[in-house]
């Protein structure tokens, strides 16, 4: 996942890789991180959708009669 802690290290690796002519491997790493982020966004969206559309809880008839 691309976090603020990971991004500077990847940027440094990309700079070094460009100097060595091997930027493609770093590009694939970035692509993988973005895929993880996209999957996490989808998971959170599904969880929010499920929570939003959950039927409301109703009080039990014995508690309502008391």
Q: Are 32 and 1 in contact (CB under 8 A)?
A: no
Q: Is residue 49 part of a domain?
A: yes
pLDDT in tens, 12-49: 887 887 777 777 777 777 777 778 778 888 888 888 88
The C-alpha atoms of residue 1 and residue 10 are separated, in whole angstroms, by 12
Classify residue 44: in a domain, yes or no.
Answer: yes
The residue range of the domain holding 12 is: 6-55
For residue 37, count other CB atoms closer than 10 A to its CB. Answer: 13
Q: How far apart are CA 15 and CA 7, in angstroms?
A: 12
Is 38 within a domain?
Answer: yes
- Does the residue 51 lie in any domain? yes
Name which residue leads in pLDDT, 56 or 40.
40
Q: How many domains does the chain have?
A: 1
User: Quick one: pLDDT band at residue 61, thresholds 50, 70, 90?
Assistant: low
């Amino acid at each position: 996942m691309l976090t603020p802690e990971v991004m500077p290290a990847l940027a440094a690796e990309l700079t070094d890789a460009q100097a060595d002519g091997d930027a493609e491997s770093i590009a694939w790493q970035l692509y993988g991180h973005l895929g993880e982020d996209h999957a996490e966004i989808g998971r959170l969206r599904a969880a929010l959708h499920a929570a939003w559309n959950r039927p409301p809880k109703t009080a039990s008839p014995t508690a309502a009669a008391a």
